[in-house]
C-alpha cells in the first residue's frame, strides 16, 4: 500500500511536465559536439521521499542509464549527442528503498548545428591585384588556393578569420596570370605532409666533420656513418626541436680516410617483456601439471623432449590477464624422463640479413654492382650524388644463390655517385 501511495504522489507531481523549457534555456552546445540538458520537475511535498532516480535512453520505454539525483527538483545530464532523441522518466524512492512506478515520459532532441562554410568574394584592383573577401565561422583557419587550369592548385596563403568571421586577402601576383581562379580549403582537413629529413655536412679546418640535421620538429633520428656503404654505425642520436636544426660534430672523422653519413628514423623504445617461465606442479595419476607465467595475453607453444635434440609441441597456451596458466601433460607417465620449454607462438620473426653491394667497376660509362642477400628477396637500389637526395634507379630480386648483378647505365653522367639498397616494404 505504501509503494502504491508513493506512485500516486509522484504521478500527481510530474503529470504536468517533466522538462521545463529545455530548448530555449537549458540545452547548451559544447565544443566536443555534445551538449548538456537540464531537466526540472515540481518537488514532492511528501516527507516519505528521500531521493529520486532519473532514467533515460534512446528508445521510448527502454532506459539504459540511471542517475540518482537525491530529493531535488532538477538535474543536468552531460554528453548528449545532437541528432539523437532521448527519452526520460523519473521514479521516487522512500527510506525503505521502495521505488515508485515511472512517471510520464518526456523526450527531447537537439538538431545538429550546421557548420558555416567559408565564402569567398573576389574584387579586382586597378593595379592588377586581386582582393579576396572571406567570410565564415569566427577564428576559423583555412588555406587559399589558386589555379589557372583547375588541375593544379597552389596554396598562396593561410588565413584565420577575425572575431567577426571575416578577412581580406590580397593576391599581389594575380597580374602575372591571364586568368586565375580561387578556392578555400580547411587547413586541418587532411594530414599535412612532413618535410623530409636533411643532413648538411661541413668540414672544419682540424679535420672534424660538422653535421646539421633538419626535418620535422620532435622527430628523433640516428646519425649513421660508413666507410664502405656496407656497414653503417650509429654515431649519434638527435631530436629535432622547433628552433631549427640539430648540430653534431664527428670528432672521429680525422681517423678515417673517407667517411659518409646518413639519417635514419630512430626506432621507438621497446618495452621490457618478462620472459615466460615454467614451474612444475607435480605428478598425479601419471599426469604432470605445470604452471606457465609471462606477459598477459601472450601465446606460447609448450615443447617436450627426452634427449634435448628432438622437441615436440605438446600444447599451445595463451596466458590470462594475470599472466599465468596451468597446463597438464597427460602423457608424462609414458616417458622415463621428460623436459619442457616454451617457444613464442608463432615463432618470433627471424632477423633478415641485410643486402650487400660490391662495386664491379665501370665499363663503357656503365657501372656494375653486385647485390647479395636473401635468396628470392626483392630490394630497391638507390643512388645519390650528395647523400641528401636518394633516387630509386632499379629494383632487383635475388636469384636462388642470393645474388644478382645490377648495371647503372647513367653513371657516366655524374662526377661521383653512391649507392645503397633497401627493402621495398615500408
Summarize pLDDT for 393-411 with one digit per residue, the tens: 888 888 888 888 888 888 8
Q: Of the ranges 24-28, 258-262, 334-338, 376-380, which one carries the lowest mean pLDDT score?
A: 24-28
Which of 109-118, 268-277, 347-356 holds the top average pLDDT?
A: 109-118
Alpha-carbon distances, residue 1 vs 5, 8, 50, 94, 240 (angstroms)? 6, 11, 18, 13, 75
* pLDDT, mean of residues 265-269: 70
Asked if 141 and 159 touch (Cβ cutoff 8 Å), the reply is: yes
Q: Give the 3-state secondary structure of 26-47.
A: HEEECCCCCEEEEEECCCCCCC
Three-state DSSP state, 17:
coil
Strands 154-160 and 141-147 come out as: antiparallel
Residue whose grid cell is 557548420 = 115
pLDDT reported for residue 136: 85
When pLDDT is cut at 50, 70 and 90, the band that residue 31 belongs to is: very low
Angle (CA) 121 125 128, round 5° = 110
Give the three cell numbers for residue 18: 517533466
Amino acid 48: pLDDT: 85
With a pLDDT cut of 90, the percent of the chain lying above it is: 3
* pTM confidence score: 0.29
Q: Is the pLDDT of residue 360 over 50?
A: yes
Instruction: Give the burial class of 194: count Cβ atoms within 10 A of its Cβ; 0-12 exposed, 13-18 middle, 19 or more buried.
Output: exposed
- Separation CA 113–CA 103 (nearest Å): 31
pLDDT at res. 164 = 85
For residues 76 and 346, give the distance between their C-alpha atoms in angstroms, rounded to a whole number.
52
| Best-predicted range by mean pLDDT (128-142, 198-212, 254-268) | 128-142
When pLDDT is averaged across residues 243-271 and rounded to a whole number, the result is: 77
pLDDT value of position 110? 85
Residues paired with 287 in a beta bridge? 284
Whether residue 165 contacts residue 135, with contact meaning beta carbons closer than 8 Å, is answered with: yes
In which region does residue 208 sit, left (phi positive, over 0), alpha (psi from -120 to 50) or beta (all else)?
A: beta
Asked if residue 269 lies in contact with residue 255, where contact means CB atoms within 8 angstroms, the answer is no
CATH superfamily membership of 2-109: Immunoglobulins (2.60.40.10)
Neighbours of 312 (CB within 10 A): 11
Q: By the 8 A CB rule, do 180 and 162 touch?
A: no
Buried b (16+ CB within 10 A) or exposed e, 235-257: bbebebeeeebbebebeebeeee
**Segment 142-161 mean pLDDT:** 86
110: cell is 537537439
Q: How confident is the model at residue 87 (pLDDT cuts 50, 70, 90)?
A: very high
The model's pLDDT over 311-354, given as tens digits with 9 standing for 90+, comes to: 889 998 888 888 888 999 998 888 888 888 888 876 544 445 56
Average pLDDT over the chain reads 78
Q: What is the pLDDT of residues 14-29, one digit of tens each?
A: 433 343 333 322 333 3
pLDDT at 248 over 50: yes
Cα→Cα distances 162→136, 159, 166, 240, Å: 9, 9, 6, 33
Q: First vs last Cα of the chain: how many Å apart?
A: 74
Phi, psi of 295 (to 5 degrees): -65, 130
- Eight-state DSSP code of residue 350: P
For the cut 50, the answer to whether the pLDDT of residue 41 exceeds it is: yes
Q: Average pLDDT of 83-96?
A: 87
Amino acid at each position: 500500500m505504501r509503494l502504491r501511495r508513493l506512485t500516486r504522489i509522484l504521478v500527481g507531481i510530474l503529470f504536468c511536465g517533466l522538462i521545463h523549457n529545455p530548448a530555449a534555456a537549458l540545452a547548451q552546445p559544447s565544443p566536443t559536439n555534445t551538449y548538456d540538458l537540464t531537466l526540472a520537475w515540481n518537488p514532492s511535498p511528501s516527507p516519505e521521499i528521500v531521493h529520486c532516480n532519473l532514467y533515460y535512453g534512446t528508445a521510448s520505454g527502454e532506459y539504459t542509464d540511471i542517475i540518482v539525483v537525491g530529493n531535488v527538483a532538477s538535474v543536468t545530464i552531460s554528453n548528449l549527442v545532437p541528432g539523437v532523441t532521448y527519452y526520460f522518466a523519473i521514479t521516487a524512492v522512500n527510506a525503505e528503498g521502495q521505488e515508485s512506478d515511472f512517471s510520464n515520459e518526456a523526450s527531447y532532441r537537439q538538431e545538429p548545428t550546421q557548420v558555416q562554410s567559408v565564402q569567398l568574394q573576389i574584387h579586382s584592383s586597378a593595379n592588377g591585384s586581386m582582393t579576396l573577401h572571406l567570410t565564415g565561422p569566427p577564428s576559423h583557419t583555412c588555406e587559399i588556393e589558386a589555379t589557372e587550369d583547375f588541375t593544379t592548385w597552389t596554396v598562396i596563403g593561410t588565413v584565420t578569420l577575425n572575431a567577426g568571421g571575416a578577412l581580406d586577402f590580397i593576391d599581389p601576383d594575380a597580374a602575372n596570370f591571364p586568368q586565375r581562379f580561387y578556392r578555400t580549403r580547411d587547413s586541418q582537413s587532411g594530414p599535412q605532409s612532413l618535410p623530409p629529413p636533411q643532413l648538411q655536412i661541413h668540414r672544419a679546418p682540424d679535420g672534424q666533420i660538422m653535421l646539421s640535421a633538419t626535418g620535422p620538429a620532435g622527430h628523433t633520428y640516428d646519425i649513421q656513418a660508413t666507410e664502405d656503404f656496407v656497414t653503417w654505425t650509429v654515431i649519434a642520436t638527435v631530436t629535432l626541436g622547433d628552433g631549427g636544426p640539430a648540430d653534431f660534430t664527428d670528432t672521429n672523422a680525422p681517423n678515417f680516410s673517407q667517411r659518409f653519413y646518413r639519417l635514419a628514423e630512430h626506432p621507438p623504445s621497446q618495452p621490457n617483456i618478462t620472459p615466460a617461465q615454467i614451474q612444475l606442479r607435480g605428478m598425479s595419476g601419471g599426469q604432470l601439471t605445470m604452471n606457465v607465467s609471462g606477459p598477459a595475453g601472450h601465446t606460447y607453444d609448450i615443447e617436450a623432449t627426452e634427449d634435448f635434440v628432438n622437441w615436440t609441441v605438446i600444447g599451445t597456451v595463451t596466458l590470462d590477464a594475470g599472466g599465468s596458466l596451468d597446463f597438464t601433460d597427460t602423457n608424462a607417465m609414458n616417458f622415463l624422463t621428460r623436459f619442457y620449454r616454451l617457444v613464442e607462438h608463432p615463432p618470433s620473426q627471424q632477423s633478415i640479413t641485410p643486402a650487400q653491394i660490391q662495386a664491379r667497376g665501370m665499363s663503357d660509362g656503365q657501372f656494375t654492382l653486385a647485390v647479395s642477400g636473401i635468396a628470392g628477396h626483392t630490394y630497391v637500389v638507390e643512388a645519390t650524388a650528395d647523400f641528401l637526395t636518394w633516387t630509386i634507379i632499379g629494383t632487383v630480386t635475388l636469384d636462388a644463390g642470393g645474388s644478382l648483378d645490377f648495371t647503372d647505365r647513367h653513371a657516366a653522367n655524374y662526377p661521383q655517385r653512391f649507392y645503397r639498397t633497401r627493402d621495398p616494404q615500408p
